[in-house]
Amino acid sequence: MFSHVKDLQFEAKPDAPDAAFARRLQEVLGGKWGEMTVANQYLFQGWNCRLPGKYKDLLLDVGTEEMGHVEMICTMIARLLDSAPLSIQEAAAEDNPMLTAIYAGANPAHFIHSGGGPLPADSNGVPWNGAFITASGNLLADFHLNVTAEAQGRLQVARLFHMTDDPGVKQLLRFLLARDTMHQNMWLAAIEQLKDDGLEEMPVPEAFLDAEQENQFAYQYIDFSSGEEAAEGRWASGPTPDGKGQFSYQSTPTAHAGAPELPPGDPRLHCTPPLGN
């Protein structure tokens, strides 16, 4: 059961309108790595979790927080659009060339589709897609992806931070950066907790040797580039992070099977037949 609290987790109020930045801010709302993605991803992972207790609570707690972040960014976008000029003439009437430039970077859909409000879309106006979210049912696999999602989201917020001089916008972005710091560390801690609890191991899913051909390829780095610089990497020698093997290095790819020869296709499929048929 969800309950909406009208107060925001953090203030979302710019010092001045900026339609161009409202468009840019759409990326961390409805882009692939935006708040709509992580909010829905964590909630679906939680609803998909068959393990009651702390892990399910963790997913639903942070998913609910991220839904609050969706509301904060939506509020900021709406306020950035408030009092923004609707026409070139209106912008020019302010006798401010910068304002005209700001208007020129606006997304017309903000005014045409949503009446001066946020959109469930990215900064190019591409609608948000549910295919962005992953909820596999395997917590270790999902938690690793969640670290990536937070890292990508934080990266985009950090880039946006340098695209505005508005103090109010920067304050919200500072808060989001701080929460992304917490969430990255939280998912990394959750990964370790899964291992400590004996619930999951690397690789995902945990190893089943009867399907891995006696590890012949399980820990072998194959160099497909000219030179052997890759051999200097941690991934080419020494113990593997899962503690179950040793990395080996192969400088030249080796074929383990001959060239495939397929029989002619079913004539009803109208494939081009091999020569001689």
Pick out the residues of the known binding site for Ca(2+).
57, 61, 225, 227
Contacts of 17 (CB under 8 A, 6+ apart): 79, 80, 81, 82, 83, 84, 102
What 8-state DSSP symbol labels residue 168? Answer: H
Tracing tokens 């923004």 back to the chain, one arrives at: 84
**Burial letters for 218-250: b for 16+ Cβ neighbours within 10 Å, e otherwise?**
bbeeebeeeeeeeeeeeebeeeeeeebeebebe
Helix/strand/coil (H/E/C) assignment for every residue in 214-244? HHCCCCEEECCCCCCHHHHCCCCCEECCCCC
> How far is it, in rounded angstroms, from Cα 64 to Cα 40?
9
User: Please, what sign has the CA dihedral across residues 190, 218, 225, 237?
Assistant: positive
User: Helix axis angle, 54-81 relative to 167-196, nearest 10°?
Assistant: 170
Q: Which residues are annotated as a binding site?
A: 35, 57, 61, 66, 69, 150, 183, 225, 227
Q: Which residues are annotated as a binding site for Mn(2+)?
A: 35, 66, 69, 150, 183
- The single-letter code of the amino acid at 153 is G
> How far is it, in rounded angstroms, from Cα 229 to Cα 248?
14
Question: In the chain, where does DSSP find H-type helix?
Answer: 19-25, 27-30, 35-48, 54-81, 88-93, 97-104, 108-112, 139-161, 167-196
